[in-house]
Amino acid sequence: MQLWTGFWYYLGLITSYIFNLLFVRTKVFYEDETKENKIIRGKAIIISNHQNPLDGYVIAHKYWSRRIYYVIADFFKSKKQIIKPFIRVSGAVIVDRDNFSFDFFEEGKRLLSRGKLLLIFPEGRFSFAYEPIRFIYSYVALAIQSNTMIVPIASDSNYGLFNRVHIMVGKSIDLSVYGPFGSLTKDKLKEINEDIYRQFILLYYRLMKRKNNKYRNKYIFTYPQVGDIIRISMGTHYHYGIFVSCDEVIQFGLPLNQPDRDVVVNAATLDEFCSGKIPEVRSLTRKERRNRRKTEDIVEYARSCLGKIGYNVSANNCYHFANRVVFK
């Protein structure tokens, strides 16, 4: 049975190779410069954000030499008995949400005990938010109970004609220090999950920073339009924000940044943002304009970040925030 399902799994990868070259064109980055996890040896749980049905397919092509089993919800209801066999041969571990069954957990443990790769999307559903949403912690329990490393992979889900999907493979996360599993409370599992989520968000920000390195940084003195990136000189560096109106510039930091407090995404007036200085406006090339989000999406994305923390000077400062919001 395993040989037969493996045949269909790899047949699907081979026949979709041309599609991958033409319409996905995955570009892979690594958090670790030594390209840790370029090849995954032995068992591992891969976690990733999830915005598109093709997300699992992209990761399967990345690790084509290893068969990947992935956890999916059973959405097929009345057609369940007809479709389920076809889903299983593709490498799926099905979660029966209707009956709140935990069979998938035991099946995942069996696969990991055999040294397999298991892909889990811990958001628990398709996320149509601009950034990865909070994780459900069941994957943490599975990793600890099976003594398995976690490999995080962040994706920009940038599918479409003339687009390119970018992923970043993160450093392995070892949870063996938290064992044994029986001694862990539900609250402790949630705490571990929150820590992993914070690491994953930072990995996602690093991916977006790496992706946006290709853009030039040309600024001119002109009146800003809605959705423009603007900046002011702070002497040794620049401070960046998203212009919405004269009454609303969304920024990561000033003026609400105070000593001993978290740096927070906030809104200020243009006068408060500029502090008496003349702002410069980002000038975009034709290619950059094609990759710019719609103006209404830029405003919605920026406002959805209000109140967020997580400042990181190397991957999530005001400049990275502005690029991430404006460019797809």
Domain boundaries of the chain, sorted by first residue: 2-212, 218-326
Calpha distance 131→51 (Å, rounded): 10
Residue 183 near residue 141 (C-beta atoms within 8 A) = no
What pLDDT sits at residue 21? 76
Q: Which letter does DSSP use for residue 47 in this model?
A: E
What pLDDT sits at residue 5? 62
What superfamily in CATH does domain 2-212 come from? Answer: Glycerol-3-phosphate (1)-acyltransferase (3.40.1130.10)
Instruction: Please give the structure tokens belonging to residue 43.
Output: 């068992």
Q: Which amino acid is at 116?
A: K
- In the block, tokens 């992993």 appear at 196
Alpha helices in the chain (DSSP H): 2-15, 17-19, 55-62, 80-89, 103-113, 138-145, 186-212, 270-274, 286-290, 295-304, 318-326
Calpha distance 107→93 (Å, rounded): 7
Strand-pair partners of 72? 94
What pLDDT sits at residue 82? 46
Q: Is 288 helix (H, G, I), strand (E, B) or coil?
A: helix
Q: Which letter does DSSP use for residue 30 in this model?
A: E
What pLDDT sits at residue 260? 64
What pLDDT sits at residue 74? 63
Calpha distance 165→161 (Å, rounded): 11
- In the block, tokens 């493996």 appear at 6
Calpha distance 299→312 (Å, rounded): 23
Q: What is the DSSP string of 185-228?
A: -HHHHHHHHHHHHHHHHHHHHHHHHHHHTTS--EEE-S---TT-
- The sign of the CA dihedral 176, 62, 204, 46 is negative
Distances (CA, A) of 148 to 123, 216, 311: 19, 42, 30
Which phi and psi (to 5°) does residue 304 adopt? -65, -20
Q: Is 177 helix (H, G, I), strand (E, B) or coil?
A: helix
Strand-pair partners of 152? 47
What pLDDT sits at residue 129? 84
Q: Which letter does DSSP use for residue 5 in this model?
A: H
Residue 279 near residue 273 (C-beta atoms within 8 A) = yes
Q: In tens digits, what is the pLDDT along the chain, a chain of 328 residues?
A: 455 566 777 777 777 777 777 778 899 999 998 999 999 999 999 999 998 888 988 999 899 889 899 887 765 544 455 445 555 555 677 776 665 556 778 889 999 999 999 999 999 887 788 999 999 999 999 999 999 999 999 999 988 877 889 999 999 999 998 878 888 899 999 999 999 999 999 999 999 999 888 888 899 999 999 999 999 998 888 999 999 999 999 999 876 556 667 889 999 999 999 989 999 999 999 989 989 999 999 999 999 999 999 999 999 999 999 999 999 8
CA-angle at 226, arms to 249 and 230, nearest 5°? 55
Q: What angle separates helix 318-326 from helix 186-212, to the nearest 10 degrees? A: 80
- When the candidates are 3.40.50.300, 3.20.20.300, 3.90.1720.10, 3.30.70.270, the CATH number that belongs to 218-326 is 3.90.1720.10
